Amino acid sequence: MNETQEALRKPVTVGGYFKNIWDSLFTTIAGLKITGGYFFQKPITVQYPDERLPIPERYRGIHYLEQDKCIECYACARACPVDCIDMEAVRHGKELEWVKFTIDYQKCMFCELCVYPCPKQCIHQGQEFAFVVEDRNELKHDLLSYQGMSRDARIRKKEAEAKKAAKEAAKKAKAEAAAKAKAEEEKNAPGEESSEDA
Amino acid sequence: MWYPLSTVATQAAITSTPEGNAVLRWLHGIAPESVPAWTLPLVTASISVAFVVTMIALIAMVAVWLERKISGHIQCRYGPMYAGVWHGWAQTIADGVKLLQKEDMIPLGADRPLFMLAPAIVLGAIFGAFVAMPLAPDMFFADINMGVFFILGMSSLTTIGVVMSGWASNSKWSLYGAMREAAQVVAYEIPLGLALMVPLIVAGTFNLREASALQSDWFGMGWLLFKNPFVFPAAILFFIAALAETKRAPFDLPEAESELVAGFLTEYSGIRWSFFFMEEYAAMYLMSLVAAVFFFGGFESPSTHMAGEWFGGGSFVHNLVAALTLIVKSMMGVIFMMWIRWTLPRVRIDQVMTMGYKYLTPLSLICVLGAAVWEALIA
């Protein structure tokens, strides 16, 4: 027999009877006061998609990548304790032609360990925390903002190529000129050499 | 559409005399001679049924929205905010449309006829009870002499529907809920009726319209509450008993969603479920209406008094203000019930029984005795 059952077995005294009535009335009124106070308070919840609570500056949300700074050094992928980062790029001299830079959010635990080792400080964790996908494979989130090379990189590459071509052309021209000069020299004084040889 | 049939029958039986029905009197006045006289009661009944059904639907709609908003604000939330632009006012309409579209599920082992009949009985009984509802001195459907008895009787009929639904569902949760409902209603019917006897002794009439009208003295503030010292405790007792009658928290043991899944509603879904829901809010409104009529002046208030002074007693404006006053008073009762619901935790079944038999019944008996003695000796 527990406490409640014992209390129920005990006969109610006359004083206890009226005390019960008094208690029930006044505890109810006290409760009504409390809930009434809350009723006139401003709600503390926010209308979520329309208004949001401020997110701390160092919040570890979904990653974002400054793709132009990235040098595909794999420092972040090596640092990742769960190996969720995967990247692929083709090198054209100094420029990178990006194929992919994915983070598998099925594995990612938002530990921020990928952010620190980056030599160019180009991978960050942002403020955004909510994203919805319809297929599990889509959780492999691609951080690239563009595929292939950036416009700047293309221009730089073209310039570099042009420079190289010009250099080579200049070299070639120089070489040709040298060869020509030599040939002309030979032509102009064929006898001298031979005479020298002789 | 055989759901409102019980209401039609009740309406036709009660409203067939011109003296008892304002609509019929009005129709007698405007109908041409060529229209056969026997059609008028039928037309009257149809109009009244349409009015009552519309009114109950509107009341349930507003009350459900209010409940959600009040519960939200008591818990420092907003409640519905999107459906409709202004504070989610159309949420109930959206929910109603959703409920209409839902599959009508009847469990395999259920007693099909009883299962289908239960919501009809519940809703029909509460529709029938609304027949005796007065709105204003000249706005009423049936001017029944025993209006209070009629309302209490009809609203007790809903219990039969609830017990029926619990038995027919073939589910132990439903049966537990129904048994609790039966026990609770049997226990609380007595204090409910006894507490209502007190203002009846003071008023001297069972007719809701007459009881309202005789509270018009003292500048519209001659409420029965102020006319006898025993009416005030009786009002509290009546309110507690009404909470138990309408299965509202803290006496919502028949539903008891944390113990009995959803009590007698467990196996119901879609439109049948919404009928039970509608009945709950209509019953809340009905109990608040009876309380408003017999304790808080009915449609009499300073505003009604002023309207009667300025536009003449019995004028359209006077009637309109009176009807609005009564609706507002009843809605205040409904809001107070909601406030109570979100304040008090559910009581145990033994506590419910103790409260009903050991506290409310003797106290209401004392109130009846005291009021009778007061009326005989002092008033």
Q: How many CB atoms lie within 10 A of CB A51?
A: 7
Which chain B positions have a beta carbon within 8 Å of A39's beta carbon?
70, 73-74, 339
The residue of chain A nearest to residue B71, with distances taken between CA atoms, is A39
Q: Considering the domain boundaries, does residue B210 fall inside one?
A: yes
Q: What is the pLDDT of residues B258-292, one digit of tens each?
A: 888 888 888 888 888 888 888 888 889 989 989 99
Q: Would the pLDDT of B69 be above 70?
A: yes
Q: How far is CA B328 from CA A54, A129, B58, B96, B187, in A?
A: 42, 47, 14, 24, 30
Contact between chains at B343 and A34 (C-beta distance less than 8 A):
yes
Q: For residue B37, tell me if it sits in a domain.
A: no
Q: Tell me, what's the pLDDT at B2?
A: 39
DSSP state of A148: B
Interface mutation target, options A20, A38, A39, chain B, most CBs of B under 10 Å: A39
The pLDDT assigned to B17 comes to 53
What pLDDT score does B6 carry? Answer: 46
Residue of A nearest to B75 (CA): A38
Chain B stretch 11-70, residues whose beta carbon is closer than 8 A to a beta carbon of chain A: 70
- Mean pLDDT, residues B145-172: 86
Higher pLDDT, B337 or A196: B337
Lowest pLDDT segment from B127-141, B198-212, B345-359: B127-141
Q: Do A43 and B78 touch (CB under 8 A)?
A: yes
Confidence of residue B5 (pLDDT cuts 50, 70, 90): very low
Residue A105 is given by DSSP the state T
Nearest CA in chain A to B236: A25
- Chain A interface includes B81 (CB < 8 A): yes
- Contact at 8 Å (CB) between B291 and B331? no
Q: Within an 8 Å CB–CB cutoff, is residue B77 touching chain A?
A: yes
**Domain assignment of residue B308, yes or no:** yes
pLDDT 10s digits, B45-68: 787 778 878 888 888 888 889 999
Q: Which residues on adjacent β-strands are paired with residue B321?
A: none
What residue spans define the domains of chain A? 3-39, 63-151
pLDDT at B241 over 80: yes
Flag whether B78 is in a domain: no
* pLDDT score for B222: 77
Helix (H, G, I), strand (E, B) or coil at A102: strand
Chain B contact for A48 (CB, 8 A cutoff): no
Query: Is residue B64 one of the residues assigned to a domain?
Result: no
Q: Which of B235, B241, B234 is nearest to B366 (CA)?
A: B234
Residue B32 lies in a domain: no
**Which domain range does residue B221 map to?**
110-377
What is the C-alpha to C-alpha distance for residues A165 and A183, in angstroms, rounded to an integer?
26
Q: Which CATH number fits domain A63-151: 3.20.20.210, 1.10.287.110, 3.30.70.3270, 3.40.50.2300?
A: 3.30.70.3270
Across B111-117, average pLDDT: 88
Which one of B74, B341, B353 would you mutate to disrupt binding with A, by most A Cβ within 10 Å of its Cβ? B74
Q: How far is B177 from chain A (nearest CA, A)?
A: 23
Residue B44 lies inside a defined structural domain of this protein: no
The overall average pLDDT reported for chain A is 84
Distance CA A73, CA A78 (A): 9
| pTM for this entry | 0.76
Q: Which residues of A touch B350 (CB under 8 A)?
A: 8
Domain count, chain B: 1
Give percent of chain A with pLDDT exceeding 90: 6
Instruction: Give the pLDDT confidence of B294-312 residue by residue, as tens digits.
Output: 888 888 888 888 887 787 7
Cβ–Cβ under 8 Å, residues B286 and B151: yes
Task: Round to whole Å and give the CA distance between B371 and B214.
Answer: 18
Q: Is A140 left (phi over 0), alpha (psi -120 to 50) or beta?
A: beta
Report yes or no on B277 lying in a domain: yes
Say which residues have a Cβ less than 8 Å from residue A63's Cβ, sequence separation at least 6: A103, A114, A123, A124, A125, A126, A141, A143
Q: For B69, name the nearest residue in chain A, comparing CA atoms only.
A: A39
Tell me, what's the ipTM?
A: 0.76
Q: How many other CB atoms are found less than 10 A from the CB of residue A82?
A: 12
Poorest-confidence range of A22-31, B15-24, B242-251? Answer: B15-24
Residues of A in contact with B351 (CB under 8 A): none
